[in-house]
Structure 1
Amino acid sequence: MVDPTPLRPASLHEEVAARLRTMVFDRVLAPGQWIDEMALARDWQISRTPLREALKVLAAEGLVTLVPRQGCKVTELSEEDADELFPVMALLEGRCAYEAVQKATPADLKQLRRLHEALEKHAAAKNVDGYYRANHEFHTKVQSLADNRWLDRTTGDLRKFVRLLRGRQLHWPGRIEESIGEHRQLIDAMEKGDAQRAERLMHDHLMAQLAALKALRAHEEAERSTQHA
């Protein structure tokens, strides 16, 4: 017999997982940081059981790493991870742009234009955090417009790891100006219905992010070496 008891829309551990996920993406919990389970349980007034269940969910997603007998820490992407991840994302997001152009309605393109205008505003103000958030929203919308459940699933899963970097490449001098220039070309291709050009531009946009990230990391490493010399 089926249990007639109404189910809650979300169990406690799912709610906790959603909150933790947001903290990771917003870098409230930074990459490599150990998670203080006792402090979180105290602050949220919950037992450690739903918290541990939530951490298992995030571990399955790859956002946190469970270390036996030590605890749990936020996943930190290495340079090798970034080198391998961004080319794959470039292919996937390029395909998203291609299919989005083929399926987008005039109303969809108007919405994309509004998202682009938000990017323009943040770029002009050199607001890195605002630009990062608007950029994520723009890319997510393009992915949605592609309306391909297999592409959406794969791209969405990998986008979580890109979000662990939280737009660090935008801190490289001149990167915001370069990025908004790339977006201007992209929105132009999409509005003109040029799917192949949009695919190429989106691909190159992701690879430019990787190049800026590598330049930033090399600069930071050089500074550390100078300080320790």
Structure 2
Amino acid sequence: GLVEPVRNKGFRVTEVNERDLDQYTEIRTLIEVPMIGRITRSAAREDLEALRPVAQEIVRAAREHDLIGYLEADRRFHLSLLALGGNDRLVETVGDLRKRSRLYGLTALDESDQLLPSAEEHIELLDLMVAGDAEAAEKCMTRHLSHVRSLWAEGAPDERRKPTRTGLTVRLGSA
């Protein structure tokens, strides 16, 4: 669902609009916030601590403006954290939602140094979970998801006024 074929041209990145982003964020919030509370209450502290290097990698990548490193570490952190809940289909669903929305406005956010505060929220979330504070961890996750959504909107002010983004066309054999 990330690309669509364009006859005699190749492929185009599918268009994402504000409504799509709002819906993806709403679904992620409905899934991830209660799971964070459940995982905080049930996961072994050493399993949570095992994710600390990945959380630190997210911060490092944001600080160094390494978007590929940021995206990969962020994906690994969130999906590995959710995997501690033991529901493979849930992890798969969140992974799909993340794929559909993560690239939106990311370059603009990086250029304006707005990725670093979002990156640091991963360490805050992990600290709360390791401390066993499920309620605070759920609040942190809610804030993180809404923060990320508001950053998307701020990072792409021109796109907010348009119903959809212009898709990119990639010719076969050129990627």
Per-residue CA deviation, residues 29-80 of structure 1 (Å, 9 max, x unaligned), is xxxxxxxxxxxxxxxxxxxxxxxxxxxxxxxxx2333568987533121122
1:180 is matched by which residue type in structure 2? A
2:42 is aligned to 103
Q: TM-score, normalised by structure 1?
A: 0.59
Cα distance change of structure 1 residues 182 and 67 upon mapping to structure 2, 3 Å threshold: same
Q: CA deviation at 1:166?
A: 8.0
Of the candidates 61, 67, 72, which is equivalent to residue 122 of structure 1?
Answer: 61
State the shift of 1:121 in Å.
2.3
Instruction: Provide Cα deviations, 1:4-52, integer angstroms capped at 9, x if missing partner.
Output: xxxxxxxxxxxxxxxxxxxxxxxxxxxxxxxxxxxxxxxxxxxxxxxxx
One of 177, 181, 185 as aligned partner of 2:116: 177
The answer to which structure has the higher helix fraction is 1
Say if 1:130 and 1:153 are closer, same or farther in 2 by CA, change over 3 A.
Answer: closer
Change (3 A) 1:194 1:67: same
Q: Please tell me whether Structure 1 or Structure 2 has the larger radius of gyration of its CA atoms.
A: 1
| Residues 169/144 of structure 1: CA separation in 2 closer, same or farther (3 Å cut) | farther
Post-superposition Cα deviations, 1:151-189, rounded to whole Å, max 9, x if no partner, equal: 334323322312453845642623122113322321111
- Please report the RMSD computed on the Cα atoms of aligned residues, expressed in angstroms: 2.9
For structure 2, which runs of at least 5 residues remain unmatched after alignment?
162-175
- Output the amino acid matched with 1:129: I
Counterpart position of 1:27: none
State, as a whole percentage, how many aligned pairs show the same letter.
32
TM-score by length of 2: 0.75
Cα distance in structure 2, aligned partners of 1:140 and 1:188: 17
Residue 9 (structure 2) pairs with residue 64 (structure 1): no
What is the CA–CA distance in structure 1 between the aligned matches of 2:108 and 2:31, rounded to whole Å? Answer: 20
* CA distance in 1: counterparts of 2:28 and 2:78, whole angstroms: 11
Q: CA separation in 2, counterparts of 1:203 and 1:156?
A: 18
Q: What SS is found at the alignment partner of 1:65?
A: strand
Q: Which has the higher contact order (CA 8 A, sep 6+)?
A: 2
TM-fit CA distance, 1:83: 2.2
Deviates more, 1:69-78 or 1:102-111: 69-78
Is 1:190–2:129 an aligned residue pair?
yes
Q: 1:171 to 1:93 in 2, by over 3 A?
A: same
Displacement of 1:138 after TM fit?
Answer: 0.7
Instruction: Specify whether residues 99 and 167 from structure 1 end up closer, same or farther in structure 2 by C-alpha distance, changes over 3 A only.
Output: farther
Separation in 2 of the partners of 1:97 and 1:75?
A: 30
Asked if the contact 1:96/1:151 (under 8 Å) is kept, the reply is no
Aligned counterpart for 2:77 among listed residues 123, 132, 138? 138
Q: Secondary structure at 2:16's aligned position in 1?
A: coil
The 5 Å alignment of 1:1-229 reads 62-66=1-5, 72-165=11-104, 167-168=106-107, 170-171=109-110, 173-218=112-157
Q: Match for residue 12 of structure 1?
A: none
